[in-house]
Structure 1
Amino acid sequence: MFTGLIQATGKLKPFEQDRFMVLIAETAHSIILSDLAIGDSVAVDGVCLTVEEILLDGFIATASPETLSRTTLEKRLESAESVNVETSLRVGSKIGGHFVTGHVDGVGSLLESFSTETSWEMIFTAPSTLTEEWEKFIARYIVSKGSIAVNGISLTVADCDQYGNWFKVSVIPHTYQETNLSSLKTGDWVNLEGDILGKYVEKLIRSPSHSEDVSLGFLAEHGYL
């Protein structure tokens, strides 16, 4: 479990077969590596990975073909672009973002990015479809003022369309500068993870045993919609 508050950036470097090195920026070695242990979970661009070996300047992890095909990690390996890194949440730690599992729901892309006097406004697409396979996509979890993780970064949805096909976030200068959001160009792909709370609500609504007790009307009546 993570919070979506990025601690460092790094680079991916192929190692052997489906294993690769996550090399941490030198300025953040003490933050990430000081108490890192084999078996720990680390979010890399929002993807939960397990530490298999510890290096002087990073660690080695494995990503399955499924993970590579459903996230941007393979692209990051090929391009040597920076990745966001966050170690797992510890009991008693502050939770400044929102609960992020590290299980990416889908890959979106940057539509537009522009600066304002106080922040960076960024608009992203989100995987969605109106076919019967709609349940496989993340758009249904995107709501205005809700939480979303973009490349592992906890952000608040400032605006979106009714289907969640696109959404806008306002990024403060610190987050923009200290993560790989600052290096994104129009059309670049990003990992997206919806708020886990929305997934539990959806599960309750769709469950036959709760369909009479929990409905959209019930949620609206109690201030959830």
Structure 2
Amino acid sequence: MFTGIVTAIGEVVEAERKGPSLKRLAIASPYEARGIELGASIACAGVCLTVTALRERADGQPGCVFQVEAAAETLAKTTVADWEAGTRINLERSLKVGDELGGHLVTGHVDGVATIARIEPIAADPDEPWGATARFHIRAPEALMRFVATKGSVCLDGTSLTVNSVEGEVFTVLLIPHSLSVTTWGLRKEGDPVHLEVDLMARYAARLAEARPQG
């Protein structure tokens, strides 16, 4: 489990296809290797992936390079198939008992890929290196919109965000300058795909509502 609070930005340094249904990735991160066990889960742009190997960084920067493998389901449901060396991704270590739950409960199981329909600057600030707070208009797959509600939570590329408004197949979220600076959202452009995980409680509430007529 995760919280959707991004703790680092990683960079893909190796991406290798191991046949049509498997892709191996090596990701450079600021995480110390001694704090990661093989088999640990790390959310990579919101995708829960298992660490299969660790090594030192070749660039001399603090941290480590961890290796993960993405199988057929992940490659089909996410943008991981398109990741290549140089791709920058949001990272989060798995939640430990006693950790602060600053975002919302996130599983790392992506429901679908949404698209940034529009980026709307809200308030320019010359003292902020990232410029302005920005409202992102997100176009989601139609089947997932029933799980998205105003003031509810969504996880986009591993980031826990509050839904500001919903209209048709588009909802909006607000990114403050701090969030833009410590995540990959500051690099995003209109038309970019983003991983979407709907709120866990919304998913179960919808399923219960569906099952009620069946007794």
Shared fold per TM-score greater than 0.5:
yes
Identify which of 57, 61, 69 aligns with 2:68: 61
* Alpha-carbon spacing, 1:146–1:55, altered in 2? closer, same or farther (3 Å): same
Q: Report what 2:78 is aligned to.
A: 71
Within 2, Cα distance between the matches of 1:98 and 1:53? Answer: 29
TM-score by length of 1: 0.81
Kindly state the Cα deviation for residue 212 of structure 1 after the two structures are TM-superposed. Answer: 8.3
CA-to-aligned-CA distance 1:14-56 (integer Å, 9 cap, x gap): 14612111111xxx334xx441111111100000001111122
Secondary structure in 2 aligned to 1:94?
Answer: coil
The residue type paired with residue 15 of structure 2 is P
**Residue among 127, 132, 140 paired with 2:141:** 127
1: CA distance, partners of 2:31 / 2:37: 14
Q: What is the letter of the counterpart of residue 98 of structure 1?
A: H
Structure 2 runs not aligned, ≥5 long? 57-63, 124-131
Residue 153 of structure 1: aligned partner: 159
More strand by percentage: 2
Q: Which residue of 2 aligns with 1:204?
A: 208
Give me the whole-angstrom Cα distance separating, in 2, the residues matched to 1:76 and 1:182. Answer: 18
Once residues 158 and 76 of structure 1 are traced to their aligned partners in structure 2, the CA distance between those partners, rounded to angstroms, is 30
Superposition TM-score, scaled by structure 2 size? 0.85
1:191 counterpart residue number:
195
Which 5+ residue runs of structure 1 have no aligned equivalent?
A: 129-136, 214-225
Residue 65 of structure 1 deviates from its aligned partner by 2.0
Q: How many residues are aligned here?
A: 195
1:188 & 1:34 partners in 2: Cα distance?
Answer: 35
Amino acid of the structure 2 residue aligned with 1:14: A
AA aligned opposite 2:178: H
Q: Given that residues 45 and 84 in structure 1 are in contact (C-alpha distance below 8 angstroms), is that contact kept between their aligned partners in structure 2?
A: yes
Aligned-pair identity in percent equals 34
- Partners of 2:156 and 2:55 in 1: CA distance: 27
